Structure 1
């Protein structure tokens, strides 16, 4: 991968995360206190910079084969999660990620919270809301930067690409002072999902010893192949969803809309959450990292791990690269179908 390709890959991936973080910060600043919200943002950025400075050089000292296996596996899990959500949203099965709605929800919650002063911060709620939002979204940015940079041995380019993405989104946020609703986030997530899945597939198989035909040139086939496969799957899910809506139309003649389904599901989830016992700090810490690494479908993560293990055992076979390809071709529709039923 050239420096330009590395820059583009990291820039696009970080752009999506920066949009979500900026929406939270703007909501906290506009409804509460700009100074406290920006202070929380700066504090989170400092923490993330320390993580990159500490973890980057240490990770880059690991053997390349180990890095490719770990990075490839994690990128595959991340990419399959992004693709699953993007396909379902593009097919109309799930509601689109609405920055306007998120912004209004964050503003409403921020406006209702009490104002307290702590540690020299005039509005602690605005500070913590911005800090948590930027830190959580930023952790994914850090993961993307470190994974791409360590595999290519070029941390400066990856850092500059991430900084450029954040700068672009923050500038837009300052100008509009509101949600970045015009950013085609689902389209970006679709592209980034294809990109993460493709690189994860390539590096993971390469890390366990499989040789790709054409070496790095195989990426020029893998990425378009994943894209076309997911576009065809989107069409299939869209037709199936349309048929399901028609067959489930109420007697009044009014079809059940995706919005009502989503609202009902959200209400049910909120009710279930309200009655659930709040876990302790240690449990919350563990759940956060489980959700960050594994996601909401452990079967996909298990499938990725099994695929890489089998590929490593069959690495002596010339066509061992076919094993992860077949497994991923199964996991994409399998995980998407499971998510559609939930």
Structure 2
């Protein structure tokens, strides 16, 4: 896996999580106290920095074979979950993820919540909403960056890609002061699901003692093959109409 492919893989995966975190922070800052929202954001970033600082060196000390089995298995779990949902959405069997709907839902909930202060935090609801949103999505960003970087023995590149994705997405969100609904998030999740599934399969097999023809070049066949298989499943599922309940349902609003 080259440095460029590592950067692209981590950037795309982290960008998806950054979009969802940005939507939550924008909703909290718009409906509630902005200073409390920013305090929650920075507290979450501090926690994430501690987690990454502790997790990165710990993973680099694990033998490469064992590390690839663990990392490959975890990536498969994440990748298959994302890919399954992406296939169902693309085939019409699951409502598309809608950042505008998610933003409006978060905004409505934030406006109805009572305002309470704790210590230096003027609005505890805004603080906790921002903190939890950034921390939960940030943990996935940290997991992706640390696992990819550790497996390739190139944590700096993975970290730079993750930070770049967060900065680009957050900067765009602050610039427009609105949810990034125009970002093709459903397509991105499909692509990232394919990539995580491919890398997870590759590393898990290598860690278990398997050898791929052409070494890392096998990814150039494995990842597109998984993508074509997923598109084939979409085509098959489209031939079967979605349930009436889904057709009548509102667009998906929860981050997933």
Query: TM > 0.5 between the two?
Result: yes
**1:34-90 per-position Cα deviation (integer Å, ceiling 9, x unaligned):** 111111011101100110011101111110000000000010111000000001111
Q: Deviations over 1:217-252 (max 9, x none)?
A: 1101000000000011111111112xx56xxxxxxx
Tell me, yes or no, if structure 1 residue 49 matches structure 2 residue 60. no
Structure 1 stretches of 4+ with a deviation exceeding 2 A read 256-259
CA displacement at 1:213 relative to structure 2: 1.2
Contact between 2:103 and 2:179, CA under 8 Å: does it hold in 1?
Answer: yes
What is the TM-score of this pair, normalised by structure 2? Answer: 0.96
Report the Cα offset of residue 258 of structure 1: 3.4
Number of the residue aligned with 1:226 = 226
Provide the residue aligned with 1:326 in structure 2. Answer: none
Map of 1:61 onto structure 2? 61
* Contact 1:199 1:219 (8 Å CA) reproduced: yes
> In the alignment, which residue of structure 1 is the partner of 2:35?
35
Do the aligned residues in 2 keep the contact of 1:83 with 1:193 (CA within 8 Å)? yes
In the TM superposition, 1:69-108 aligns within 5 A as: 69-108=69-108
Deviation at 1:262, TM superposition (A): 5.5
8 Å CA contact retained: 1:94, 1:262 = no
Which structure 2 residues correspond to residues 241-280 of structure 1 after superposition, within 5 A?
241=241, 256=244, 258-261=246-249
Give the equivalent residue in structure 2 for 1:298: none
Aligned ranges for residues 95-244 of structure 1 at < 5 Å? 95-241=95-241
TM-score, with structure 1 as normaliser: 0.72
Equivalent pair of 2:95/2:249 in contact (CA under 8 Å): no
Is the CA contact 1:31–1:110 (under 8 Å) kept in the aligned structure 2? yes
How many Å separate the matches in 2 of 1:176 and 1:262? 25
1:130 CA displacement: 0.3
Distance 1:212 1:14 in 2: 27
Q: Per chain length, whose mean CA-contact separation is higher, i.e. which structure has more relative contact order (CA < 8 Å, sep 6+)? A: 2
Q: Gaps spanning 5+ residues in structure 2: where? A: none
Question: For 1:119 and 1:5, how far apart are their aligned partners in 2?
Answer: 46
Deviations 1:252-283 (A, max 9, x none): xxxx47342468x99xxxxxxxxxxxxxxxxx
Q: SS where residue 236 of structure 2 aligns?
A: helix
Long gaps (5+) in structure 1: 246-255, 267-294, 296-342
Larger CA Rg, structure 1 vs 2? 1
The 2-side partners of 1:195 and 1:42 are apart by 30
Q: Distance in 1 between matches of 2:245 and 2:184?
A: 22
Query: Structure 1 residues 107, 8: closer, same or farther in 2, change over 3 A?
Result: same
Contact 2:31 2:111 in 1 (8 A): yes
Matching residue of 2:18: 18
- Give RMSD over aligned pairs: 1.7
Aligned length: 254
Paired with 1:238 and 1:129, the residues of 2 have a C-alpha distance of 38
Which residue of structure 2 aligns with residue 281 of structure 1? Answer: none
